Amino acid sequence: MKPRFSKGALYGGRGPLLFLVISALLFIFGQSLDEVVKPASAQSLEVDEKVVDENFDLQTGYRIRRYQAAVPQSPPAGSRVWIPQIDRLVGEEHALLLDVSPITGAGYDPQTGVWRSSKVHKSLPGAIWLPEVGRGTIDNLVARFFSDNLARITNGNMERPLIVFCHADCWMSWNAIKRADQLGYKRLYWFPEGTDGWRDWDRELVSVLPTPIDVKALN
């Protein structure tokens, strides 16, 4: 015959009392039993989600900090491309290569609009470099610098293919393609591997100069 155990016997007769004491303490300290026994993975997930949210402007959706971090698989608009697609788009459809890497230096001269870069920047051959347009928050001058230059290089053609990039794991290209989409450009392509991916495929990188800001026209 199997021995029979009651719940009270299993806890030495103190099971219900112990449960009541623990419940009372949890009530006093404002916690529920579910919160206490919540798996560590669930707790860390909540923290991670909070950190991720803090990297974005909740109103605009732009990434506003930690620009150098792993990027998602898909862009906020348009489609993702790799080097064979870039070759075809540039060769057959005259796509424009738009480098949105940040400037390394003191920014632009407010008097001349020339970017004060502290080192040589290398990019894809034929790329147009528009610095700082991929930040989550930009001033009105840089916003107009971006929109005016897109209008200029596309001759106002919203259907002209634009390939947007910076370097690997750079959220500025993600922001810039989102910004171009909001301006109404229809054919947007994201190359998130950027200059690093191009170099890793043994493709040539060339020195490029940043497009100056026309401060007189924009002010």
pLDDT tens string, the chain, 219 residues long: the values are 444 434 444 344 455 555 455 555 545 445 444 444 444 443 333 434 445 579 999 999 999 999 999 999 999 999 999 999 999 999 999 999 999 999 998 899 999 999 999 999 999 999 999 999 999 999 999 999 999 999 999 999 999 999 999 999 999 999 999 999 999 999 999 999 999 999 999 999 999 999 999 988 777
Domain ranges of the chain: 7-54, 79-218
Q: Considering Cα of 48, then 173, then 188, then 156, what sign does the dihedral take?
A: positive
Q: Which residue has the tokens 């230096």?
A: 105
Instruction: Please say whether the beta carbons of 134 and 190 come within 8 A.
Output: no
Alpha carbons within 13 A on the beta-carbon side of 184:
8
* Model-wide pTM > 0.95: no
Alpha carbons within 13 A on the beta-carbon side of 95:
27
Tell me the sheet residues that pair with 210: 129
Instruction: Give the integer Cα–Cα distance in Å for 164 and 174.
Output: 8
Could you tell me the fold of the domain covering 79-218? Oxidized Rhodanese; domain 1 (3.40.250)
| 144 class by beta-carbon count within 10 Å (0-12 exposed, 13-18 middle, 19+ buried) | middle
DSSP 97-166: EEE-PPPSEEEE-TTT--EEESS-EEE-TT-EE-TTTTSSS--HHHHHHHHHHHHHHTTT-TTS-EEEE-
| 141 class by beta-carbon count within 10 Å (0-12 exposed, 13-18 middle, 19+ buried) | middle
- Measured CA to CA in angstroms, residue 38 lies from 18, 29, 33, 41, 167 at distances of 20, 16, 8, 8, 40
Q: Which residues contact 141 (CB under 8 A, 6 or more apart)?
A: 213, 215, 218, 219
Token pair recorded at residue 14: 């103190």
What pLDDT is recorded for position 216? Answer: 83
Q: Name residue 69's amino acid.
A: A
Q: Name residue 140's amino acid.
A: N
- Among candidates 170, 137, 163, which has minimal Cα distance to 67? 170
What pLDDT is recorded for position 45? Answer: 38
CB neighbourhood size of 210 (10 A): 20
